[in-house]
Structure 1
Amino acid sequence: MSAIDQLPAALGRRFPSAARGLATMRGWLLEERYPFAVDLAFALVVLALSSAAHGRDLSRHPLVWLPQLALILPLAFRRRAPLAVFGVIAGVSFVQWLTYQAMPANIAVLLALYTVAGHCARRNVLLSYLVAELGVALVVSDIRHAGELADPLHTMFKAAFALSGATTAAAVLGLNVRARRAQLRALRERARELERQRDQQAALAVAEERSRIAREMHDIVTHNLSVMVALADGAVYANPTAPEKATAAMRQSAETGRQAITDMRRFLGVLRADEPDALRHPQPGLGQLAALVSQVRAAGLPTELRVTGDRAAVSPGAQLTVYRLVQESLTNTLKHAASGARAEVTVECTEQALRVEVRDDGRALHPAAPGGFGAGGADERSRESGHGLAGMRERVAAYGGGLTAGPLPHGGWQVAATLDLGPDPQEAPR
């Protein structure tokens, strides 16, 4: 870090107001917020310095102020019209060379050349550089005719070397500043592009998170409400003849409601970092399938569960996916299958894949033809289960697997999915 960069921090500790003023001025200079005002102030400073160095001639010959002002004041417009300003200053310098000796204000030629190199095309820079070198040749030619010099050729060589070096330095410095300015513009554009990409990624992440939350809430609320509705309907029908069964059904309904609240708190606790019970309520997995099946049985749907293989090797994310698939499938069966339907849940765990199948043998509540799901009944169930099936497909796709759902040839409905558990599964906390 340069001394100029460290100066605002050093002043800020002792002189906060001065540091703020310096930072503002530095921003104006670096960001070119007010280019004309900065260039005008710069021209006035150069005019004051050159006038102080040439004060005796200016006081003796007031007309010398004309070329002095004509050389310096155009610098106020150097960034608005770099090539025109250089032309004016070069022309005034040539006229001044014809009528008067060299003066300190001729440094304006170098300043104008620097500006042309920093803002104009390369061919204009080359043309301006050649014009400046021509001026150097004219100045050096005057030395040759100076009779008071003992060795005019040696003096000419030194003068040509010094003046040409200054001209070359001005052009090279301007080109370097232009390259640095272009690099800064590229970096700023890159930073803006990265900000846009960050905002887009954040928007995509928000949309994905909203979809995940909606999917989880759909699974939790839909399943538990379906079970509660089935239990409540059973209690109403059983109450006149078997009050004890109605009471048991209502108790099971209340337990299901409490379980739904627990699931929602568990899920919301994972979303909230400040939830103290988040770690106490892990997400459900294969171990909770038995409780899920028992809950469905209590709602009036006889269900069998078979789990084979080593479940310990299955990641928690994959277990949650299977749990939600089974939960959604059984919920659809509760909602759409007629009385007397039965369901089977089969889960097979291997080292490479996790397979799950949920099927029922019941008829639809509104079948198109006797004996099972006709075309109309299947379409009806597919349409009503559309959101749930879309959510299940998204869950399975996160593991590079596939899902099929549809009516069975001899009646009933089947949902089957396969999750890839290979060496590089696409894990996702769904």
Structure 2
Amino acid sequence: MTEADTKPGCSHPVRHRERVRPARYSGPGSARAARLVGDARHWGSRLPPVVRDSLLPTLLLVNVMTTRLPQELAVAVALTAALALPLVWRRRAPLTVFGVVAAVAFVQWLMDVQLLADIALLVALHTVAANSGRRGTLVAGAIVEAGVLLACLRWAAEGAFPTTFVAATAMVVAAAVLGVNVRTKGVHLAALEERAARLEHEQEQQARLAVAEERARITRELHDIVTHNLSVMVALTDAAVYAQHRSPDKATTVMLQISETGRQALTDMRRSLGVLRTDEPDAERHPLPGIAQLQALADQMCVAGLPTRLDVEGGYTHIPATAQLTAYRLVQEALTNTLKHTPPGTRAEVRVLCSATTVTVDVTDSGPCPALPGATPFGHGIPGMRERAAAYGGKLRAGPLPGGGWGVHTCLDLSSSGEVSA
């Protein structure tokens, strides 16, 4: 310790102690204080708003009752209660509460009574700024600033008016700015909540549309698979029954074809439903049918009793699998309708024209037309075909031909986004 440190009148010890204080208060004690403040905020946030808003008036009343002289107690308590108690309802009616507090503060100024409860003006201003618009905040701030000027003119110490006025004005500005920040944050949070709710609603709508689209796709697939294979099996069964006595060998061949058709139907159904099960391997073992399988389809129809001629023009290796599946299903449904609704002896022709950007499908038959012009006696088949064609930007034309018979025509646009719903 130096000599200067030991002299009673020396100022060095005071400066030395001031330099040491920050280090002493930045240790574990300050950390404990921060934890206490955090715990107090957490505990306070769990209280009802009315209880939280009642804490400050209660503290102000306790303060005035414990610090005032008995002869000043009645007036001080009355003014403190008039200033602080309206704060309990400040969230419900911020402008009204501010007006009451400002009026009481003016009465207090007229009575020349200084109170700690004047802080209620800052709290009321903060509430107005947090819940009202810019105009209300400016008016309330101007009123409080006028009160600050009056208070400083009457109660500021001699020579301390500028410092006191600037300090009080800074408190007014801080209260208003904090309130505006709270309001801005609330508006931002409300906008985020609205956007989140809107996005959630849109996601739900998209999910419902996706489910509906997937249900429609599975329905079309099952309709085409079941209708086609059952129609072929029925036709083959009739042929087997007819030939079992006259030509047993032919009947045996037809029965084997029925069995093969049934197995193919089961395979197609497993493949179509495999997307709904993660443990279903058939969808990977059996590729989707496409243009390459049209010849097997035509042969199957020939065996079932519908002579079918197939003509595929152009290369199709560049065509997406879903587009090929669409073309296959269109041909399959058209031939199935012909097999079901035309008499024996009807012949069918299939023409598929493949190009770089389109796939044109034409299926015609020589059977008689429906009794009513434009009628579609094929249940859900033609609507399903229209949906498949529309997925690739095509329009399906199905109807009687000028020279007799029935025709189905469509042109698939490969540039369309129909791979999902095909």
TM-score (norm 2): 0.84
What is the aligned counterpart of 2:137 among 125, 138, 141?
125
Unaligned stretches of 5+ in structure 2?
A: 1-37
What is the aligned counterpart of 1:388 among 363, 381, 398?
381
Please list the CA deviations of residues 221-249 of structure 1 after superposition, one character each: whole Å capped at 9, or x if unmatched: 00001001111112222233333323322
Deviation at 1:418, TM superposition (A): 1.0
Contact 2:213–2:421 under 8 Å retained in 1: no
What is the aligned counterpart of 2:204 among 199, 202, 206?
199
What is the aligned counterpart of 1:37 among 17, 29, 51?
51
Contact 2:60–2:80 under 8 Å retained in 1: no
Match of 2:73 in 1: 62
Contact 2:357–2:413 under 8 Å retained in 1: yes
Residues 389 and 25 (structure 1), Cα distance of their counterparts in 2 relative to 1, 3 Å cut:
farther
What is the aligned counterpart of 1:414 among 407, 415, 418?
407
Give the match's secondary structure for 2:317: helix
Distance 1:58 1:191 in 2: 58
Match of 1:168 in 2: 173
Deviation at 1:143, TM superposition (A): 4.3
Q: Does 1:158 align with 2:163?
A: yes
Distance 1:416 1:284 in 2: 20
Compare 388-397 and 35-44 and name the one that shifted more.
Answer: 35-44
The Cα RMSD (Å) is: 2.5
- 1:237-256 to 2 correspondences below 5 Å: 237-256=242-261
Please list the CA deviations of residues 34-73 of structure 1 after superposition, one character each: whole Å capped at 9, or x if unmatched: 432332235435655xx18x84326674322222222222
Residues 158 and 427 (structure 1), Cα distance of their counterparts in 2 relative to 1, 3 Å cut:
same
Which aligned runs of 4 or more in structure 1 are off by greater than 4 angstroms? 21-26, 45-48
Deviation at 1:316, TM superposition (A): 0.5
Contact 2:235–2:304 under 8 Å retained in 1: yes
Match of 1:322 in 2: 327
Query: Which amino acid counterpart does residue 180 of structure 1 have in structure 2?
Result: K
Count of matched residue pairs: 384
Query: Which amino acid counterpart does residue 140 of structure 1 have in structure 2?
Result: C
Please list the CA deviations of residues 192-214 of structure 1 after superposition, one character each: whole Å capped at 9, or x if unmatched: 11111111111111111111111
Query: Which amino acid counterpart does residue 248 of structure 1 have in structure 2?
Result: T
Distance 1:403 1:257 in 2: 30
What is the aligned counterpart of 1:292 among 293, 297, 311?
297
Match of 1:10 in 2: none
Give the match's secondary structure for 2:343: coil
Deviation at 1:160, TM superposition (A): 1.5
What is the aligned counterpart of 1:260 among 265, 270, 274?
265
Residues 212 and 425 (structure 1), Cα distance of their counterparts in 2 relative to 1, 3 Å cut:
closer
What is the aligned counterpart of 2:97 among 85, 94, 100?
85
Distance 2:315 2:60 in 1: 85
Give the match's secondary structure for 2:396: strand
Give the match's secondary structure for 1:340: coil
Deviation at 1:255, TM superposition (A): 1.6
Please list the CA deviations of residues 127-177 of structure 1 after superposition, one character each: whole Å capped at 9, or x if unmatched: 322221221121121147x6xx3xx3xx21121211122112212221221
Give the match's secondary structure for 1:313: coil
Contact 1:117–1:175 under 8 Å retained in 2: yes
Residues 93 and 374 (structure 1), Cα distance of their counterparts in 2 relative to 1, 3 Å cut:
closer
Deviation at 1:91, TM superposition (A): 2.2
Q: Does 1:182 align with 2:187?
A: yes
Compare 60-69 and 385-394 and name the one that shifted more.
Answer: 60-69
Give the match's secondary structure for 1:312: coil
Query: Which amino acid counterpart does residue 414 of structure 2 have in structure 1?
Result: L
- 1:330-349 to 2 correspondences below 5 Å: 330-349=335-354
Deviation at 1:259, TM superposition (A): 0.9
Contact 2:353–2:360 under 8 Å retained in 1: yes
- 1:355-370 to 2 correspondences below 5 Å: 355-363=360-368
Distance 2:69 2:128 in 1: 29
Q: Quote the sequence identity (%).
A: 51
Give the match's secondary structure for 1:428: coil
Deviation at 1:99, TM superposition (A): 2.7
Contact 2:217–2:421 under 8 Å retained in 1: no
Contact 1:58–1:65 under 8 Å retained in 2: no
Contact 2:57–2:81 under 8 Å retained in 1: no
- 1:303-314 to 2 correspondences below 5 Å: 303-314=308-319
Residues 201 and 25 (structure 1), Cα distance of their counterparts in 2 relative to 1, 3 Å cut:
farther
Q: Does 1:210 align with 2:203?
A: no
What is the aligned counterpart of 1:105 among 117, 136, 160?
117
Distance 1:210 1:46 in 2: 68
Distance 1:216 1:233 in 2: 26
Contact 2:346–2:365 under 8 Å retained in 1: yes
Give the match's secondary structure for 1:305: strand
Residues 322 and 263 (structure 1), Cα distance of their counterparts in 2 relative to 1, 3 Å cut:
same
Deviation at 1:415, TM superposition (A): 0.9
Distance 2:52 2:232 in 1: 77
Distance 1:202 1:268 in 2: 19
Distance 2:42 2:80 in 1: 33
Give the match's secondary structure for 1:345: strand
Q: Does 1:279 align with 2:284?
A: yes
Residues 58 and 395 (structure 1), Cα distance of their counterparts in 2 relative to 1, 3 Å cut:
farther
Give the match's secondary structure for 1:231: helix
Unaligned stretches of 5+ in structure 1?
A: 1-17, 364-372
Q: Does 1:427 align with 2:419?
A: yes
Match of 1:3 in 2: none
What is the aligned counterpart of 1:137 among 149, 157, 167?
149
Residues 47 and 320 (structure 1), Cα distance of their counterparts in 2 relative to 1, 3 Å cut:
farther
Contact 2:53–2:88 under 8 Å retained in 1: yes
Deviation at 1:374, TM superposition (A): 5.8
